[in-house]
């Protein structure tokens, strides 16, 4: 069907011309001689007012129902009332009628309700705006890395190694549900891969393989985590942006993470001004000011040990009091970034016991060169580190965790054959979209969110 999107059709240069537009009916008004239909098609917030001269033709009543889809051919003219343009219809064709039970009604419905109809909630302004921002942000991710000399790598999604080692892997199997074996080993030896396999929780290990050959790489794909927690910032399937950089140390990793985040924020501000105005008005007051400020000021950096010193003074007010060695909970992360720093903050040099085996061990023998970027409203948005490049130290960390060295043969080889200092980080794409839109629940920035007991 040859037609223009409404955002394109409404260009001034189309005035006086005949255009064809398709969309869904948002409102209908009728008077003695003319009928008015407002159409939207998701290309932008803009609605097209269609004017039907009833003396020429009576519109099909089905075309006037909220949610019906129509195709209109007409001439774009100056609006009779107010500014802008409207379409004088010459032909109005019903594409699909919409019965009265259409769940997207005009009165504002709640996000909770809309989550029960993920296939229809995209017909609302809010969700259309979220997904336009999400698309623009994804393009900007690729643009940033391409402009900065990174190669785009696709890491495997099915893997035999659990990168984070946190036991959050989904299994991948073709064994029947009632397979009977005496041992686990026997079970897996008969399985598709002959060993236990699962969905990747991170492309990092493969990213390191590529970075130690190509220099600078990134992956941008789904990661899967069987997170058994029902929070507003965890999904079982999320999109993960993971750059990995050879010849880089922790300060380089921090610099790149900050630069990327600011670039992405600026891209969304430039390309989605209408969407941001909408979110500022209806979702997070002050959003644009927040983003403008963040894009142009330095992020804070705070070593974990200092952060604990700050947090301990507030222990009485936390559900989980902290001490040196505790993992930071969401309440601590938010306190640091919202109350103490009032801006994004990189917490660095965490105790090695609470971080992954592959992180570079610091000279103090107690901490690793890791960093989490915490942002107001969300908490952790990025987790990264310099990687341990020393074979013996890496083996030591694996042994103290009781890991199976044989499973990491290839990873260890990177430290045998021309090892280099390198590092990288993971940015959760949905968390970024939450941050720039102000949406508070990660389920509302994902088309079909997957979480515990939810796979609609």
| Shortest CB 344 distance to Mn ion, Å | 15
Interface contacts to Mn ion, rule CB under 5 A: 383
Residue 424 sits in the site that holds ligand ATP (CB under 6 A): no
Q: Which of 190, 223, 192 is nearest to 205 (CA)?
A: 223
Which of the residues 200 through 239 are near ligand ATP (CB under 6 A)?
225, 227, 234-235, 238
Give CA–CA dist 121/449, Å, rounded: 13
Give CA–CA dist 413/398, Å, rounded: 14
The DSSP call for residue 340 is I
Residue 240 sits in the site that holds ligand ATP (CB under 6 A): yes
Residue 381 sits in the site that holds ligand ATP (CB under 6 A): yes
| Shortest CB 372 distance to Mn ion, Å | 5
DSSP 390-424: -HHHHHHHHHHTT--GGGGHHHHHHHHSS---EEE
State the CB neighbour count (10 A cutoff) for residue 105. Answer: 11
In the beta sheet, which residues pair with residue 386?
Answer: 423
Among 205, 359, 368, 382, which residue sits at the site for ligand ATP (rule: CB under 6 A)? 382
Among 428, 433, 443, 445, which residue sits at the site for ligand ATP (rule: CB under 6 A)? 428
What is the spatial order of strands in the sheet that 197-199 belongs to? 158-159, 197-199, 171-172
Choose among Mn ion, ligand ATP, none what residue 240 binds, the Cβ cut-off being 5 to 8 Å by kind: ligand ATP
Q: Which of 418, 18, 46 is nearest to 208 (CA)?
A: 418
Strand, coil or helix: 251: helix
The span of 15-23, 133-141, 148-156, 375-383 binding ligand ATP (CB under 6 A) equals 375-383
Residue 336 sits in the site that holds ligand ATP (CB under 6 A): no
Give CA–CA dist 205/212, Å, rounded: 11
Choose among ligand ATP, Mn ion, none what residue 426 binds, the Cβ cut-off being 5 to 8 Å by kind: ligand ATP
The span of 61-69, 271-279, 405-413, 424-432 binding ligand ATP (CB under 6 A) equals 424-432
The contact mask relative to ligand ATP for 146-175 (x = CB under 6 A, - = no) is ------------------x-----------
| Shortest CB 245 distance to ligand ATP, Å | 16
By the 8 A CB rule, do 103 and 117 touch?
yes
Residue 380 sits in the site that holds ligand ATP (CB under 6 A): yes
The contact set with ligand ATP (CB under 6 A) reads 164, 225, 227, 234-235, 238, 240, 380-383, 426-428, 430-431
């Amino acid at each position: 069907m040859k037609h223009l999107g409404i955002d394109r059709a409404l260009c001034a240069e189309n005035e006086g011309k005949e255009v064809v537009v398709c969309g869904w009916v948002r409102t209908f008004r009728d008077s003695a001689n003319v009928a008015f239909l407002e159409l939207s098609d998701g290309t932008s917030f803009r609605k097209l007012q269609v004017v039907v001269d009833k003396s020429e033709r009576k519109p099909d009543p089905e075309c006037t129902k909220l949610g019906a889809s129509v195709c209109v051919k007409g001439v774009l003219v100056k609006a009779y009332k107010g500014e802008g343009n409207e379409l004088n219809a010459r032909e109005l064709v019903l594409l699909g009628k919409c019965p009265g039970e259409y769940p997207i009604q005009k009165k504002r419905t709640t996000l909770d309700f809309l989550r029960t109809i993920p296939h229809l909630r995209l017909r609302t302004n809010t969700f259309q705006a979220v997904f336009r921002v999400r698309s623009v942000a994804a393009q900007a991710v690729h643009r940033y890395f391409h402009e900065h000399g990174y190669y785009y790598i696709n890491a495997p999604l099915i893997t035999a190694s659990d990168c984070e080692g946190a036991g959050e892997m989904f299994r991948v199997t073709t064994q029947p549900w009632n397979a009977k074996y005496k041992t686990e080993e026997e079970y897996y030896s008969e399985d598709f891969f002959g060993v236990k396999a699962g969905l990747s929780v991170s492309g990092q290990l493969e990213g390191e393989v590529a970075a130690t050959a190509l220099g600078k790489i990134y992956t941008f794909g789904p990661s899967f985590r069987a997170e058994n927690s029902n929070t507003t910032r965890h999904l079982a399937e999320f999109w993960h942006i993971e750059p990995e950089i050879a010849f880089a140390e922790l300060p380089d990793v921090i610099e790149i993470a900050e630069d990327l985040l600011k670039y992405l924020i600026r891209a969304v501000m430039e390309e989605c001004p209408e969407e941001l105005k909408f979110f500022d008005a209806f979702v997070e007051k002050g959003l644009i000011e927040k983003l403008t400020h963040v894009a142009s000021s330095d992020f804070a950096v705070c070593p974990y040990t200092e952060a604990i010193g700050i947090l301990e003074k507030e222990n009485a007010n936390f559900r989980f009091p902290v001490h040196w060695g505790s993992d930071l909970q969401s309440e601590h992360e938010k306190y640091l970034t919202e109350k103490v720093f009032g801006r994004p903050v990189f917490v660095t040099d965490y105790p090695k016991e609470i971080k992954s085996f592959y992180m570079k061990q610091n000279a103090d023998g107690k901490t690793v060169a890791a960093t989490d970027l915490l942002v107001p409203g969300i908490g952790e948005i990025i987790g990264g580190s310099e990687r341990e490049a020393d074979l013996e130290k890496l083996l030591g960390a694996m042994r103290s965790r009781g890991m199976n060295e044989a499973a990491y043969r290839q990873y260890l080889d990177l430290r045998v054959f021309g090892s280099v200092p390198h590092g990288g980080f993971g940015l959760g794409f949905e968390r970024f979209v939450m941050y720039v839109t102000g949406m508070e629940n990660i389920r509302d920035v994902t088309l079909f969110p997957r979480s515990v007991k939810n796979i609609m």
